[in-house]
Amino acid sequence: MFVLVGLGNPGEKYSLNRHNIGFMLADSFATAYHFPPFKIKFSAAVCEGTIGKHKVILCKPMSYMNLSGQSVKDLIRFYKIPTSQTYVVHDDLDLAPGQIKLKLAGGNGGHNGLASLDQHIGKDYWRVRLGIGHPGRPLAHPDIVTQYVLSNFSNQDKKWLSQVLGVITQEADSLFGADPGVWLTKVFQNLKI
């Protein structure tokens, strides 16, 4: 069994924010693979289903981004899912819009959601990094960065966003338990951005 954690903030006002790209991907998986409706468990919206040959739990922590770690810890402990089978999808300011990277373990890069996860479950989980770009380099004021991640994707962004979410969803089966290079190759072969 695998778990895919989409990071984001609960509530309608945040639903289209750049910071909620993890929630968006979890929703895309749930729709495409006909998962049952999300139910609240472990302070998270959770549902279980099958993607290809893999049993997968989708998780959207409802405790806000900065406190995501506790609900994920409770979920993976209950289901006895090792962190090596835990995939966390999050926005990444350091990657260009639409760029995708996959990495096992590592630092949190200043991402508060990852910092919370690191504190509660350690660092040995998969990070699916989805680039959202940066509001200004080299030294954007922290308030500008916060405003940027908590603002909605622009109409121009929605073109690449739809394609990225669609291609990742299409290739979801090869994400779980496979060589990350194989999954990334399949994703990049189908992206047109």
Q: 3-state DSSP call for residue 136?
A: coil
Burial of 137 (0-12, 13-18, 19+ CB in 10 A): exposed
Tell me 5's DSSP state.
Answer: E
**Where are the strands (E) in 27-85, listed by range?**
39-41, 44-51, 54-61
| Cα–Cα distance for residue pair 51/136, rounded to 1 Å | 38
Respond yes or no on whether the N-terminal peptide bond of residue 180 is cis (omega within 30° of 0).
no
| CA-closest candidate to residue 181, choices 169, 171, 166 | 171
Is 19 marked active-site?
yes
Per annotation, catalytic residue among 19, 90, 111, 134? 19
**Whether the Cβ atoms of residue 165 and residue 24 lie closer than 8 Å to each other:** yes
Contacts of 19 (CB under 8 A, 6+ apart): 7, 8, 9, 65, 91, 149, 150
Which residues are designated catalytic?
19
